[in-house]
Structure 1
Amino acid sequence: MQEKNKTVIKSMNLLNLFRTYPTLTLQEMVKQSGMPKTSVHRMINSLEEMGFLQKRHDGAYELGVVFLELGQLVSDRLDLRQVAFPIMEALRNQVEEAVHLTVRDGDEAIYIEKLDTLHPVRLFTKVGRRAPLYAGACQRVILSFLPEQEQTAYLERVELIPLADGTITDKLLLKERISETQQTGVAISHSELENNTTAIAAPIYDHSGTIVAGISIAGPDIRVTEERLSTLKVTLKNAAKSISKQLGWLAT
């Protein structure tokens, strides 16, 4: 293995300080990095010249716009399905139930990826299927973690139409389920889109901490029982966190 370039490593250590501090003076960078002032000054000049740092009018430094440009390139080129698929496949193989990935489209969520259970009894879901945000775990987990203003506006305008025996049609009950999801980090549904089914879903976040998708485990309620849900909850949340991290999310 080739020896790492020490100058590059030290420069990255300087830049990493800006993960915690929005602005830093030369003296603050020296103190936080523990490097000699002459070395820090030299690196700052180079980083500023390349656009990685920019000097403010008060003499402090902040990250340069090149990071915004590079970040947008990464975001544009990152395919959620491509990132999620291997993690979804591992999850399906572990729990042996169907795994779904949904994203928001207006007042609905659309299934953009699905891995079927290996059991002969399966759910009726397919890529491209739509469902309202209020019905089903994978949809409601997205609703639960929307910005408060968007969530409130949705709840005011939506009409809760029954789709299966367990569909929530009372707005007070829906608000209770949303609150539970926010507290536990998962949404659970029973026969909300299809009778005799149970699903559990967790949120997926992007680099900005914004929810971008929901991932769920779903199956017939004779297999996805209350006894299994506690174990599935941990497994699912770990999978959702893995996908989120690959999208740039920094878990708090």
Structure 2
Amino acid sequence: MKNEKYVIESVDKAFSLLIEVARSPRSNLTNLAEKAKLNKSRAYRLLYTMEQRKVIKKEENNTYSLGDTMLILGITASAQLDLIRLATPIMEDLCQRVNETVQLRTVDHLDALCIAKTEPSRDLRVHANIGRRRPLYTGSPKCLLAYQSQEFIDRCIPDYPPPLTDHTPRTRDEVLQALASIRQQGYCVSRGEVDTHQIACSAPVFSFNNAIVATIHAVAPKFRVGESELEHMIRQVTSAAERLSAELGR
């Protein structure tokens, strides 16, 4: 149920207008204001604001249609949904093979964003949250960063990264060395860099043009992962990432 005290009215009204533009493209101001239950002055200001961000566009005959920004958002959302659809059975299989929590992450701005997860049925497990963000310079998200352009990498790594744990890389050079190792071996292992009680393994997922689009992660309580378990996890995670890459046409 919507909690009204957290709703920003102007944003809510802007979305109402945007939905009406999507439902009835090339509608004029009067019609849109009436459908969104706004006076014309306020509707115009909201439409003008969205026009500046290219969310909508004003036609020559003073009607409104969706703008280029909405096209980009639609394409991105469609691609992400297709990625999740293809990844889900592979992640479920991986979860059964390692009996640990599995996540799918992508880059969003300067963060790693969890967009899908699968958790085992065992009582003691790492809980994942869709929508959770992690910095790219530490932990298993480094695998996402390793295959980005050097310009993007430079933007993501502070000279002295804020520590999340005692195992977080402390300098830019330390992160860069880790990224080089990830590219060489084809996967990342994080031992307590984000949470001192967890160990994680991640591997890159590539699209048909060899661009990285995501990473698959398996994460477990640290006490449960010895060297043989870790080797098994690495093999299974890299295999799952290769399978998803193949599904994407690589």
Q: Which moved more, 1:125-134 or 1:228-237?
A: 228-237
Deviation of residue 207 (structure 1)? 1.3
Runs of 4+ with >4 A deviation: 75-78
Return the offset for 1:80. Answer: 0.6
Asked if 1:84 corresponds to 2:90, the answer is no
- The one-letter code sitting in structure 2 at the alignment partner of 1:109 is A
Q: CA deviation at 1:158?
A: 6.2
Match of 2:147 in 1: 145
After superposition, the C-alpha distances for 1:110-148 in whole angstroms (9 at most, x for unaligned) are 1001111322112242111000001221x1101011123
Name the TM-score, length of structure 1 as normaliser.
0.64
1:33-92 per-position Cα deviation (integer Å, ceiling 9, x unaligned)? xxxxxxxxxxxxxxxxxxxxxxxxxxxxxxxxxxxxxxx9xx859611000000000010
Q: Structure 1: where are the runs of 5+ without partners?
A: 1-71
Q: Distance in 2 between matches of 1:77 and 1:144?
A: 21
CA displacement at 1:228 relative to structure 2: 1.8
Letter in 1 for 2:214: A
Distance 1:77 1:119 in 2: 29
Q: 1:208 to 1:227 in 2, by over 3 A?
A: same
> Which position in structure 2 is the counterpart of 1:179?
180
State the partner residue of 1:6.
Answer: none
Instruction: Please tell me the residue identity of whatever aligns with 1:231.
Output: H
Cα 1:217–1:77 change in 2 (3 A) is closer
Q: Structure 2: any 5+ residue segments left out of the alignment? A: 1-74
| Equivalent in the alignment of 1:221 | 222
* Superposition map of 1:119-138 within 5 A: 119-137=122-140
Q: Distance in 2 between matches of 1:166 and 1:124?
A: 21
1:169–1:85 CA distance, 2 compared to 1 (3 A): same
Q: Which amino acid aligns with 2:85?
A: Q
User: Does structure 2 retain, via aligned residues, the 8 Å contact 1:133–1:142?
Assistant: yes
- Whole-Å Cα distance in 2 between the matches of residues 176 and 77 of structure 1? 30
Cα deviation 1:154-209 (Å, max 9, x = unaligned)? 33x56511122322222222122111111110011011221211000000011111
2:124 corresponds to which letter in structure 1? V
Distance 1:223 1:126 in 2: 21
Against the structure 1 CA distance between its residues 119 and 184, is the aligned structure 2 distance closer, same or farther, given a 3 Å change threshold?
Answer: same
Distance 1:187 1:214 in 2: 10
- Is 1:107 the counterpart of 2:110? The answer is yes
1:99 maps to a residue whose letter is: V
Q: Matched residues, percent identical?
A: 30
Equivalent position of 2:244 in the other structure: 243
Partner of 1:170: 171
- The equivalent residue for 2:196 is 195
Q: Retained in 2: the 8 A contact 1:218–1:224?
A: no
CA distance in 2, matches of 1:158, 1:125: 29
SS of residue in 2 equivalent to 1:212: strand
RMSD: 1.9
Structure 2 distance, partners of 1:146, 1:182, is: 11
Residue correspondences, number: 174
Give the Cα separation in 1 of the matches to 2:117 and 2:80: 22
CA contact (8 A) 1:198 1:221 kept: yes
Match of residue 116 from structure 1: 119
Q: Deviations over 1:198-231 (max 9, x none)?
A: 0000000111110010101110011122222222
CA contact (8 A) 2:103 2:218 kept: yes
The 1:140–1:162 alpha-carbon spacing in structure 2 relative to 1, beyond 3 Å, is same
Alignment-derived partner of residue 65 in structure 2: none
Is this contact kept in 1: 2:117–2:129, CA < 8 A? yes
